[in-house]
Amino acid sequence: MTAAWWQRGVLYQVYPRSFRDADGDGVGDLRGIRERLDYLVELGVDALWISPFYPSPMVDFGYDVSDYVDVDPRFGTLAEFDALLAAAHARGLAVILDFVPNHSSDQHPWFVESRASRVSPKRDWYLWRDPAPGGGPPNNWISDFGGSAWTLEEATGQYYYHAFLKEQPDLNWRHPEVRSAMYAALRFWLDRGVDGFRLDVLWHLIKAEGFPDNPPNPAYRAGQGEMHRVLQTRSTDQPEVHAIAAELRRLVDGYGARVLIGEIYLPLERLVAYYGAHGEGVQLPFNFQLIDAPWSARELAARIGAYEAALPQGAWPNWVLGNHDRPRVAARLGDAQARIAAMLLLTLRGTPTMYYGDELGIGRVDVPADQVRDPLELREPGLGRGRDPVRTPMAWDATPNGGFSAATPWLPLHADWRTRNVERLSAEPGSLLALYRRLLALRRAHPALAVGDLALFSPSAPSAPSAPSAPLPREIDDDGDVLAYERRGDGERLLIALNLGDAPRALTLPAWARGARVLLSTHDAALEGAGAPTLPRLALRPNEGVILAAPLSPTPAESSRP
Ligand code: GLC
């Protein structure tokens, strides 16, 4: 099995404001990340994706870039970035940058020039339109952060488009000079040695010609966020975006083994189109289904099966449990199921992306109203969309501010940081952090986990195309709380059984797994290496997940299975 580093490896997202503050201003920085690289090595991940650290007015905390080829002084310097990259590479860690192509800051010199006059040479680098015939915005497009997505520039009498804040004007990707400027920025970082990019809101880059209205969303319910009033079918996901993805891919491929990851929130069929029909798109269009899925075995099995079935030929899957925009996994599912989620993420087929702090099980953080920083929450308060609670500082130890900073952190820490921190959880063999470390070590040691085939054991899910010949046992437990699947490869078969409920459950084992070795249980490290019961049923305790391993050789019982 030959697999690229980004297929075999595990990605870890660092939100740089909140990982580690080395210069004592309450905001994390690049040196802080460098000083904690050994933690990532011990954890067992392979690559870090760092959210934006470019110069920025920080209206959207770095996703409003005012210079694509430098480092914001709050985060450090280019020299500090080079030191971080070298230190990461020396440890075998890849570094993936967050690139924000869709929009710049309104303080970017390009936009400053563009807005200055209707005849500015950079006017068409952004999206300017006359008011609608009766006055008002050119169409009904709504910003993802609420309100019209068009802002009137009084001086020139035209509106400019911004899918997000008015301080984040959208660039015109149909303009060849914009593309060249962006490609130059990518080359700047590739030449420095970065291993790839996560492309922010990739599906937004191209808007429909003529800027037609978006259709109303018939399923809109009050309280969802104003953006959901319309379906973004005209403002996003236009066919021409795929040619741009392919162009970006060609550029990055010119540098060898690099990776492009697309941030794309779309239904499955439209998401997988970003691989490109022949693999010419991005290698990993982020798959956020685990963030949105109802947490039941049937739902998850159905989604895993549907995703596997939808992948184009040769496409490599990926799974994400959390990020800086969505509620944390432990807040969504609670402590017990956060362990199951960890086992799921790290045993599915495809590249997993972890989010910093999820390995500590940071749960719901209540950010007091007077400490809210997220522009989304400030504009549309109280809808539960606010992102501050998932961006709070990492807790390293029980010293003041959790060892994150010598100063008061920019956001408060989780309430239980004195006990929920890296130092403390490292000393507890049964902690979630210890479970993550064991899972990551297993992924490294067992190619079947990292790159093997997958077959679901579920009556409700279609069989996975990756293992068309695998027999699908039908004996899933009747209560429907157990999600089970097989990973197979390199002379080994693994069975993963996850109890998604809080009652004991049992799973009827396929013949090959009877008496198999227990590689790992979420519940006790002591079990590891023991044989599974030779009984036909595997008993699972409430919220327990188990990985069994057996050599890959079909048993007579199995080959006689109808
Ligand atoms: C992406 C980022 C998010 C940001 C938005 C606008 O969705 O993940 O944090 O606010 O793009 O750049």
In a domain, 446, yes or no: no
**Among 65, 164, 199, residue to substitute to test ligand 1 (most atoms within 8 Å of Cβ):** 164
Compute, in angstroms, the gap from residue 63 CA to the centroid of ligand 1.
6
- The encoded tokens of residue 370 equal 């007077």
How many other β-carbons are positioned within 10 Å of the β-carbon of residue 266? Answer: 18
CATH of the domain at 302: 3.20.20.80
Q: How far is the CA of 256 from the centre of ligand 1 (A)?
A: 28
Confidence of residue 480 (pLDDT cuts 50, 70, 90): confident
Q: Domain range holding 482?
A: 454-559
Mean of the per-residue pLDDT values of the chain: 93
The answer for 324, left when phi > 0, alpha when psi is -120 to 50, beta otherwise, is alpha
35 has catalytic annotation: no
Residue 440 lies in a domain: no
The C-alpha atoms of residue 425 and residue 276 are separated, in whole angstroms, by 42
- pLDDT above 90 covers what percent of the chain? 88
**Which of 294, 250, 288 minimizes the C-alpha distance to 272?**
288
Query: Which residue's alpha carbon is at the smallest distance from atom 7 of ligand 1?
Result: 201
Let me know if residue 447 belongs to a domain.
no
What number does the ligand 1 atom closest to the CA of 387 have? 9
d(CA 301, CA 299): 5
Give the pTM: 0.94
In the reported structure, the alpha carbon of residue 200 is separated from the centroid of ligand 1 by a whole-number distance in angstroms of 6
Query: In 232-348, where do the E strands start and end?
Result: 259-262, 284-285, 318-320
Atom of ligand 1 nearest to the CA of 145: 10
Q: Is the pLDDT of residue 560 over 50?
A: no
The yes-or-no verdict on residue 562 having pLDDT over 80 is no
Residues 374 and 405 in one domain: yes
Instruction: Residue 235: count other Cβ atoms within 10 Å of its Cβ.
Output: 25
In this model, does residue 132 exceed pLDDT 50?
yes
Q: Do residues 287 and 202 both lie within one domain?
A: yes
The CATH number of the domain holding residue 536 is 2.60.40.1180
Question: In this structure, what token pair is assigned to residue 322?
Answer: 């959390």
Using the mean position of ligand 1's atoms as its centre, give its distance from the Cα of residue 51 in Å.
10
Q: How far is the CA of 390 from the centre of ligand 1 (A)?
A: 14
Contact 318, 411 (CB under 8 A): no
Two tokens, residue 459: 């009556």
Ligand 1: nearest atom to the Cα of 325? 9
Catalytic residue among 195, 263, 380, 481: 263
Q: What percent of the chain has pLDDT over 70?
A: 92
Among the atoms of ligand 1, which is closest to the Cα of residue 375?
10
Q: Do both 153 and 181 map to the same domain?
A: no
pLDDT band at 559 (very low <50, low <70, confident <90, very high): very low
Token representation of residue 444 = 């490294």
> Is there a domain that residue 168 lies in?
no
Task: Work out the average pLDDT over 332-354.
Answer: 98
Tens digits of residue pLDDT in 370-380:
999 999 999 99
SS3 sequence, 20-78? CCCCCCCCCCHHHHHHCHHHHHHHCCCEEEECCCCCCCCCCCCCCCCCCCCCCCCCCCH
Residue from 100, 103, 325, 390 whose mutation best tests the ligand 1 pocket (most atoms within 8 A of CB): 325
For residues 63 and 100, is the Cβ–Cβ distance under 8 A? yes
pLDDT in tens, 212-240: 999 999 999 999 999 999 999 999 999 99
In this prediction, residue 2 carries a pLDDT of 85
Q: Are residues 70 and 183 in the same domain?
A: yes
Domain co-membership, 128 together with 69: no
Locate the ligand 1 atom nearest the alpha carbon of residue 100 and give its number.
12
Structural tokens at position 397: 């130890």
CA of 478 to the centre of ligand 1 (A): 41
In this predicted structure, the answer to whether residue 147 has a pLDDT above a threshold of 80 is yes
- C-alpha distances (whole Å) from 530 to each of 448, 525, 526, 548 are 20, 10, 8, 10
| Residue 64, in any domain of the structure | yes
For residues 359 and 254, state if they share a domain.
Answer: yes
DSSP notation for 437-471: HHHHHHHHH-HHHHH-EEEE--TTSPPPTTSTTS-
pLDDT band at 553 (very low <50, low <70, confident <90, very high): confident
Q: With beta carbons less than 8 A apart as the criterion, state whether 65 and 108 touch.
A: yes
pLDDT of 533 strictly over 80? no
Residue 445 lies in a domain: no
- What confidence tens digit (pLDDT) does each residue in 404-446 have? 999 999 999 999 999 999 999 999 999 999 999 999 999 999 9
The residue whose CA has the least distance to atom 12 of ligand 1 is 63
Tell which residue, 527, 547, 544, has the closest CA to residue 481.
Answer: 544
Cβ–Cβ < 8 Å for 341, 544: no
Q: Please indicate, yes or no, whether residues 196 and 63 belong to a single structural domain of this protein.
A: yes
Whether residue 380 is found in the same domain as residue 482: no
The reply to whether 192 and 271 lie within a common domain is yes
> How many domains are there within the chain?
3
Q: Ligand 1: which residue has its CA nearest to atom 2?
A: 200
Of 434, 465, 490, which one is at a domain's C-terminal end? 434
User: Quick one: average pLDDT of 503-525?
Assistant: 90
pLDDT at 122 over 60: yes
- Tokens representing 390? 């998932």
| Residue from 106, 200, 359, 481 carrying the catalytic annotation | 200
User: Tokens at residue 423, please?
Assistant: 């130092």
The predicted structure's pLDDT at residue 537: 85
Q: Which of 200, 286, 355 to mutate to test the pocket of ligand 1 (most atoms within 8 A of CB)?
A: 200
Cα-to-centroid distance, 324 and ligand 1 (Å) = 9
Contact 159, 138 (CB under 8 A): yes
Task: Compute the average pLDDT of residues 113-122.
Answer: 98
Per residue in 64-104, pLDDT (tens digit) is 999 999 999 999 999 999 999 999 999 999 999 999 999 99
Q: What is the pLDDT of residues 226-277, one digit of tens each?
A: 999 999 999 999 999 999 999 999 999 999 999 999 999 999 999 999 999 9
Residues 6+ apart with CB under 8 A from 556: none
CB atoms within 10 A of CB 46: 22
Q: Is the pLDDT score of 467 beyond 50?
A: no
pLDDT band at 515 (very low <50, low <70, confident <90, very high): confident
User: Structure tokens of 371?
Assistant: 């400490």
Are the beta carbons of 96 and 11 closer than 8 angstroms? yes
Closest ligand 1 atom, residue 103 Cα: 12
Whether the predicted pLDDT of 41 surpasses 60: yes
Beta strands 94-99 and 196-199, pairing class: parallel
How many Å apart are CA 56 and CA 64, to the nearest integer? Answer: 6
Q: Is 200 a catalytic residue?
A: yes
H or E element that contains 559:
helix 556-559
Which residues touch 523 (CB under 8 Å, ≥6 apart)?
541, 544
- Write the CATH number for 136: 3.90.400.10
| pLDDT over threshold 80, residue 461 | no
Q: Which protein residues touch ligand 1 with a CB less than 6 Å away?
A: 60, 63, 100, 164, 200-201, 263, 324-325
Q: What value, to the nearest 5°, has the Cα angle with vertex 506 and ends 500 and 509?
A: 110
| pLDDT(470) > 80 | no
207 and 305 belong to one structural domain: yes
| pLDDT value for 9 | 98
Q: How far apart are the C-alpha atoms of 18 and 120, rounded to whole Å?
A: 39
Q: How far apart are CA 213 and CA 236, in angstroms?
A: 12
Q: Please indicate, yes or no, if residue 353 is contained in any of the structural domains.
A: yes
Task: Indicate the top mutation candidate among 58, 98, 201 to test ligand 1's pocket, ranked by most ligand atoms within 8 A of CB.
Answer: 201
Neighbours of 533 (CB within 10 A): 14
- pLDDT of the residue at 529: 64
Q: Are residues 73 and 207 in the same domain?
A: yes
Determine, yes or no, domain membership for 395.
Answer: yes
User: Considering only CA atoms, which residue is closest to atom 9 of ligand 1?
Assistant: 325
Distance 143 CA to ligand 1 centre (A): 12
Domain check: are 486 and 375 in the same one?
A: no
Cα of 325 from ligand 1 centre, angstroms:
7
Ligand 1 atom with the smallest distance to the CA of 64 is 12
Please tell me the predicted confidence (pLDDT) of residue 377: 95
